[in-house]
Protein backbone atom coordinates (compact mmCIF):
# COMPACT_ATOMS: atom_id res chain seq x y z
CA UNK A 1 0.00 0.00 0.00
CA UNK A 2 1.39 3.36 -0.99
CA UNK A 3 1.30 6.10 1.65
CA UNK A 4 -0.58 8.62 -0.46
CA UNK A 5 -3.62 6.43 -1.10
CA UNK A 6 -6.07 5.95 1.77
CA UNK A 7 -6.79 2.23 1.99
CA UNK A 8 -10.37 1.12 1.44
CA UNK A 9 -11.87 -1.86 3.24
CA UNK A 10 -15.15 -2.61 1.52
CA UNK A 11 -17.73 -5.15 2.66
CA UNK A 12 -19.87 -6.71 -0.07
CA UNK A 13 -22.89 -8.14 1.76
CA UNK A 14 -24.30 -9.76 -1.39
CA UNK A 15 -27.93 -10.87 -0.78
CA UNK A 16 -27.63 -10.91 3.01
CA UNK A 17 -29.13 -8.79 5.82
CA UNK A 18 -32.52 -7.07 5.50
CA UNK A 19 -32.93 -3.39 6.34
CA UNK A 20 -33.47 -3.98 10.06
CA UNK A 21 -30.45 -6.26 10.27
CA UNK A 22 -28.49 -3.67 8.29
CA UNK A 23 -29.24 -0.97 10.86
CA UNK A 24 -28.16 -3.21 13.73
CA UNK A 25 -25.02 -4.26 11.85
CA UNK A 26 -23.88 -0.75 10.93
CA UNK A 27 -24.53 0.51 14.47
CA UNK A 28 -22.49 -2.32 15.95
CA UNK A 29 -19.72 -1.83 13.39
CA UNK A 30 -19.49 1.87 14.23
CA UNK A 31 -19.39 1.18 17.99
CA UNK A 32 -16.82 -1.57 17.62
CA UNK A 33 -14.49 0.60 15.55
CA UNK A 34 -14.98 3.60 17.81
CA UNK A 35 -14.26 1.50 20.92
CA UNK A 36 -11.07 0.35 19.25
CA UNK A 37 -10.15 4.01 18.49
CA UNK A 38 -10.09 3.30 14.76
CA UNK A 39 -8.68 6.17 12.72
CA UNK A 40 -11.24 6.50 9.92
CA UNK A 41 -8.97 8.90 8.02
CA UNK A 42 -6.21 6.31 7.94
CA UNK A 43 -8.36 3.45 6.63
CA UNK A 44 -11.74 4.01 5.01
CA UNK A 45 -14.54 1.58 5.67
CA UNK A 46 -17.48 1.02 3.33
CA UNK A 47 -20.43 -1.36 3.27
CA UNK A 48 -22.40 -2.54 0.23
CA UNK A 49 -25.85 -3.65 1.41
CA UNK A 50 -28.72 -4.85 -0.80
CA UNK A 51 -30.72 -2.06 -2.50
CA UNK A 52 -33.61 -2.36 -0.03
CA UNK A 53 -31.31 -1.49 2.90
CA UNK A 54 -29.76 1.64 1.43
CA UNK A 55 -32.32 4.18 2.66
CA UNK A 56 -32.06 2.80 6.21
CA UNK A 57 -28.26 2.87 6.13
CA UNK A 58 -28.30 6.41 4.70
CA UNK A 59 -30.61 7.61 7.49
CA UNK A 60 -28.52 6.00 10.23
CA UNK A 61 -25.19 7.24 8.87
CA UNK A 62 -26.55 10.80 8.54
CA UNK A 63 -28.34 10.86 11.92
CA UNK A 64 -25.38 9.47 13.88
CA UNK A 65 -22.74 11.21 11.72
CA UNK A 66 -20.94 7.91 11.17
CA UNK A 67 -17.71 7.81 9.20
CA UNK A 68 -18.85 4.75 7.30
CA UNK A 69 -19.28 5.01 3.55
CA UNK A 70 -21.79 2.90 1.67
CA UNK A 71 -22.70 1.92 -1.84
CA UNK A 72 -24.83 -0.38 -3.96
CA UNK A 73 -23.91 -3.74 -5.45
CA UNK A 74 -25.00 -2.86 -9.00
CA UNK A 75 -26.75 -0.20 -11.07
CA UNK A 76 -28.48 0.16 -14.42
CA UNK A 77 -26.58 1.39 -17.45
CA UNK A 78 -29.70 3.50 -18.20
CA UNK A 79 -30.77 6.74 -16.52
CA UNK A 80 -34.52 6.02 -16.32
CA UNK A 81 -37.38 4.48 -18.27
CA UNK A 82 -38.97 1.14 -19.08
CA UNK A 83 -36.39 -1.12 -17.43
CA UNK A 84 -38.37 -3.17 -14.93
CA UNK A 85 -36.36 -4.14 -11.90
CA UNK A 86 -33.42 -1.86 -12.70
CA UNK A 87 -32.01 0.85 -10.42
CA UNK A 88 -30.67 4.11 -11.82
CA UNK A 89 -27.39 5.61 -10.67
CA UNK A 90 -29.34 8.84 -10.18
CA UNK A 91 -31.43 7.12 -7.48
CA UNK A 92 -28.29 5.83 -5.75
CA UNK A 93 -26.75 9.29 -5.79
CA UNK A 94 -29.94 10.65 -4.16
CA UNK A 95 -29.41 8.10 -1.37
CA UNK A 96 -25.91 9.51 -0.77
CA UNK A 97 -24.19 6.37 -2.03
CA UNK A 98 -20.51 7.05 -2.57
CA UNK A 99 -19.73 3.82 -4.38
CA UNK A 100 -21.27 1.17 -6.58
CA UNK A 101 -19.83 -2.27 -7.30
CA UNK A 102 -19.75 -3.07 -11.01
CA UNK A 103 -18.95 -6.31 -12.80
CA UNK A 104 -18.75 -8.56 -9.76
CA UNK A 105 -18.05 -12.09 -10.97
CA UNK A 106 -21.48 -13.17 -9.70
CA UNK A 107 -23.11 -10.56 -11.98
CA UNK A 108 -20.87 -11.62 -14.87
CA UNK A 109 -21.69 -15.31 -14.38
CA UNK A 110 -25.28 -15.36 -13.10
CA UNK A 111 -26.55 -12.35 -15.08
CA UNK A 112 -24.41 -12.72 -18.20
CA UNK A 113 -22.83 -9.28 -17.83
CA UNK A 114 -20.04 -9.02 -20.37
CA UNK A 115 -17.26 -6.44 -20.62
CA UNK A 116 -19.42 -4.13 -22.76
CA UNK A 117 -22.18 -4.09 -20.13
CA UNK A 118 -19.58 -3.50 -17.42
CA UNK A 119 -18.17 -0.57 -19.43
CA UNK A 120 -21.64 0.97 -19.88
CA UNK A 121 -22.38 0.61 -16.17
CA UNK A 122 -19.00 2.09 -15.25
CA UNK A 123 -19.73 5.12 -17.44
CA UNK A 124 -23.23 5.42 -15.91
CA UNK A 125 -21.79 5.40 -12.39
CA UNK A 126 -19.30 8.14 -13.20
CA UNK A 127 -22.00 10.17 -14.96
CA UNK A 128 -24.12 10.12 -11.78
CA UNK A 129 -21.25 11.08 -9.50
CA UNK A 130 -20.76 7.61 -8.02
CA UNK A 131 -17.37 5.94 -7.67
CA UNK A 132 -17.49 2.62 -9.52
CA UNK A 133 -15.71 -0.28 -7.86
CA UNK A 134 -14.88 -2.12 -11.07
CA UNK A 135 -14.37 -5.83 -10.44
CA UNK A 136 -12.11 -7.87 -12.68
CA UNK A 137 -10.60 -11.31 -12.28
CA UNK A 138 -9.76 -14.58 -13.94
CA UNK A 139 -11.38 -17.98 -13.49
CA UNK A 140 -9.31 -21.05 -12.62
CA UNK A 141 -9.51 -22.04 -16.29
CA UNK A 142 -8.31 -18.59 -17.43
CA UNK A 143 -5.46 -18.86 -14.96
CA UNK A 144 -4.36 -22.17 -16.39
CA UNK A 145 -4.69 -21.05 -20.01
CA UNK A 146 -3.54 -17.42 -19.89
CA UNK A 147 -1.81 -16.83 -16.54
CA UNK A 148 -3.11 -14.45 -13.88
CA UNK A 149 -3.02 -11.01 -15.54
CA UNK A 150 -4.29 -11.39 -19.12
CA UNK A 151 -8.03 -11.65 -18.42
CA UNK A 152 -8.28 -8.99 -15.69
CA UNK A 153 -6.16 -6.61 -17.77
CA UNK A 154 -8.41 -7.07 -20.83
CA UNK A 155 -11.55 -6.67 -18.69
CA UNK A 156 -10.28 -3.44 -17.15
CA UNK A 157 -9.20 -2.01 -20.52
CA UNK A 158 -12.74 -2.35 -21.86
CA UNK A 159 -14.32 -1.02 -18.66
CA UNK A 160 -12.23 2.15 -18.68
CA UNK A 161 -12.52 2.99 -22.37
CA UNK A 162 -14.32 6.28 -22.83
CA UNK A 163 -13.78 7.57 -19.28
CA UNK A 164 -12.21 10.98 -18.72
CA UNK A 165 -8.78 11.15 -17.11
CA UNK A 166 -10.33 12.79 -14.05
CA UNK A 167 -12.75 9.91 -13.38
CA UNK A 168 -12.71 8.72 -9.78
CA UNK A 169 -12.70 4.94 -9.82
CA UNK A 170 -11.70 2.00 -7.65
CA UNK A 171 -10.52 -1.28 -9.18
CA UNK A 172 -11.06 -4.59 -7.42
CA UNK A 173 -8.95 -7.54 -8.50
CA UNK A 174 -10.96 -10.59 -7.56
CA UNK A 175 -9.71 -13.91 -8.91
CA UNK A 176 -12.92 -15.89 -9.37
CA UNK A 177 -11.30 -19.04 -7.99
CA UNK A 178 -10.59 -17.22 -4.73
CA UNK A 179 -14.09 -15.83 -4.13
CA UNK A 180 -15.88 -17.68 -1.35
CA UNK A 181 -13.49 -20.63 -1.72
CA UNK A 182 -11.40 -20.08 1.39
CA UNK A 183 -8.39 -20.16 -0.90
CA UNK A 184 -7.06 -16.61 -1.22
CA UNK A 185 -4.41 -15.61 -3.74
CA UNK A 186 -0.98 -15.06 -2.24
CA UNK A 187 0.03 -11.44 -1.59
CA UNK A 188 2.63 -11.88 -4.35
CA UNK A 189 0.01 -12.98 -6.87
CA UNK A 190 -2.27 -10.08 -5.89
CA UNK A 191 0.60 -7.60 -6.21
CA UNK A 192 1.59 -8.87 -9.64
CA UNK A 193 -1.92 -8.41 -11.05
CA UNK A 194 -2.56 -5.14 -9.17
CA UNK A 195 0.62 -3.69 -10.72
CA UNK A 196 -0.54 -4.76 -14.20
CA UNK A 197 -3.96 -3.19 -13.55
CA UNK A 198 -2.34 0.05 -12.45
CA UNK A 199 -0.46 0.07 -15.76
CA UNK A 200 -3.83 -0.18 -17.54
CA UNK A 201 -5.16 2.80 -15.56
CA UNK A 202 -1.99 4.71 -16.54
CA UNK A 203 -2.30 3.75 -20.20
CA UNK A 204 -5.97 4.80 -20.45
CA UNK A 205 -6.44 7.55 -17.85
CA UNK A 206 -2.90 8.83 -17.40
CA UNK A 207 -0.25 9.11 -14.68
CA UNK A 208 -2.26 11.15 -12.19
CA UNK A 209 -5.13 8.66 -12.26
CA UNK A 210 -2.74 5.73 -11.94
CA UNK A 211 -1.17 7.32 -8.86
CA UNK A 212 -4.42 8.11 -7.07
CA UNK A 213 -6.61 5.11 -8.07
CA UNK A 214 -7.05 2.51 -5.38
CA UNK A 215 -6.69 -1.11 -6.39
CA UNK A 216 -8.24 -3.62 -4.02
CA UNK A 217 -7.73 -7.34 -3.69
CA UNK A 218 -10.77 -9.55 -3.11
CA UNK A 219 -11.17 -13.28 -2.56
CA UNK A 220 -11.31 -15.05 0.80
CA UNK A 221 -9.86 -12.10 2.72
CA UNK A 222 -9.89 -12.60 6.50
CA UNK A 223 -8.39 -10.85 9.51
CA UNK A 224 -5.62 -13.46 9.46
CA UNK A 225 -4.46 -12.72 5.89
CA UNK A 226 -5.26 -9.01 5.30
CA UNK A 227 -1.92 -7.76 6.64
CA UNK A 228 0.02 -9.69 3.99
CA UNK A 229 -1.99 -8.09 1.15
CA UNK A 230 -1.70 -4.62 2.65
CA UNK A 231 2.10 -4.83 2.71
CA UNK A 232 2.11 -4.92 -1.10
CA UNK A 233 2.78 -1.56 -2.77
CA UNK A 234 -0.01 -1.80 -5.35
CA UNK A 235 -2.73 -3.24 -3.10
CA UNK A 236 -4.73 -0.42 -1.52
CA UNK A 237 -7.40 -2.31 0.33
CA UNK A 238 -9.79 -5.20 0.00
CA UNK A 239 -13.25 -6.14 -1.19
CA UNK A 240 -14.54 -8.58 1.37
CA UNK A 241 -17.53 -10.90 1.01
CA UNK A 242 -18.19 -13.56 3.64
CA UNK A 243 -15.96 -12.07 6.33
CA UNK A 244 -17.72 -8.70 6.05
CA UNK A 245 -20.88 -10.20 7.53
CA UNK A 246 -19.29 -10.75 10.93
CA UNK A 247 -18.87 -7.42 12.74
CA UNK A 248 -15.87 -8.47 14.80
CA UNK A 249 -14.08 -10.12 11.91
CA UNK A 250 -14.78 -7.21 9.56
CA UNK A 251 -13.65 -4.69 12.21
CA UNK A 252 -10.44 -6.61 12.65
CA UNK A 253 -9.84 -6.50 8.88
CA UNK A 254 -10.55 -2.75 8.84
CA UNK A 255 -8.00 -2.33 11.66
CA UNK A 256 -5.28 -4.13 9.69
CA UNK A 257 -2.84 -1.33 10.54
CA UNK A 258 -2.82 -2.63 14.11
CA UNK A 259 -1.76 -6.07 12.99
CA UNK A 260 1.82 -7.01 13.56
CA UNK A 261 4.28 -5.81 10.96
CA UNK A 262 2.09 -3.39 8.98
C1 LIG B 1 -16.67 -11.10 -3.01
O2 LIG B 1 -17.76 -11.63 -3.14
O3 LIG B 1 -16.44 -10.00 -3.55
C4 LIG B 1 -15.68 -11.77 -2.18
C5 LIG B 1 -14.44 -11.36 -2.26
O6 LIG B 1 -16.12 -12.80 -1.41
P7 LIG B 1 -15.27 -13.59 -0.28
O8 LIG B 1 -14.55 -12.56 0.53
O9 LIG B 1 -16.31 -14.31 0.52
O10 LIG B 1 -14.34 -14.49 -0.99
Ligand 1 centroid to Cα of residue 214, in Å, is 18
Binding residues for substrate: 12-14, 180, 220, 241-242
pLDDT of amino acid 258 = 87
Query: Is 10's C-beta closer than 6 angstroms to any atom of ligand 1?
Result: no
CB-count exposure of residue 134 (10 Å: 0-12, 13-18, 19+): buried
Query: Is 179's C-beta closer than 6 angstroms to any atom of ligand 1?
Result: yes
Query: Is 175's C-beta closer than 6 angstroms to any atom of ligand 1?
Result: no
- Find the helix or strand (DSSP H, E) in which 95 lies: none
Please provide residue 98's backbone torsions phi and psi, each rounded to the nearest 5 degrees.
Answer: -90, -40
* CA gyration radius, the chain: 17
The fold of the 8-258 domain, in CATH, is TIM Barrel (3.20.20)
pLDDT of amino acid 34 = 96
pLDDT of amino acid 261 = 54
- The minimum-distance atom of ligand 1 relative to the CA of 184 is 10
| pLDDT in 10s for each residue of the chain, 262 residues | 555 899 999 999 999 999 999 999 999 999 999 999 999 999 999 999 999 999 999 999 999 999 999 999 999 999 999 999 999 999 999 999 999 999 999 999 999 999 999 999 999 999 999 999 999 999 999 999 999 899 999 999 999 998 999 999 999 999 999 999 999 999 999 999 999 999 999 999 999 999 999 999 999 999 999 999 999 999 999 999 999 999 999 999 999 998 745 5
Q: Cα dihedral sign for 242, 100, 225, 195?
A: positive
- The minimum-distance atom of ligand 1 relative to the CA of 242 is 9
Query: Is 239's C-beta closer than 6 angstroms to any atom of ligand 1?
Result: yes
Does the pTM of the predicted model rise above 0.85? yes
Binding residues: 12-14, 180, 220, 241-242
Which residues are tagged catalytic? 104, 174
CB-count exposure of residue 169 (10 Å: 0-12, 13-18, 19+): buried
* Cα 238 from Cα 240, distance rounded (Å): 6
Amino acid sequence: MAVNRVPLLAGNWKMNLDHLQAIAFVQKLAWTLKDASHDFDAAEVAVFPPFTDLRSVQTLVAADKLSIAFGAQDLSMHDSGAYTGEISGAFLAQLDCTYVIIGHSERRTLHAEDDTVVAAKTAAAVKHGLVPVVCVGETAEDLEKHGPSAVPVAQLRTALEGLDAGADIVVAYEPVWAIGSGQAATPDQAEQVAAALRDVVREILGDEAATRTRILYGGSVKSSNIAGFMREPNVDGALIGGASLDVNEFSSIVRFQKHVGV
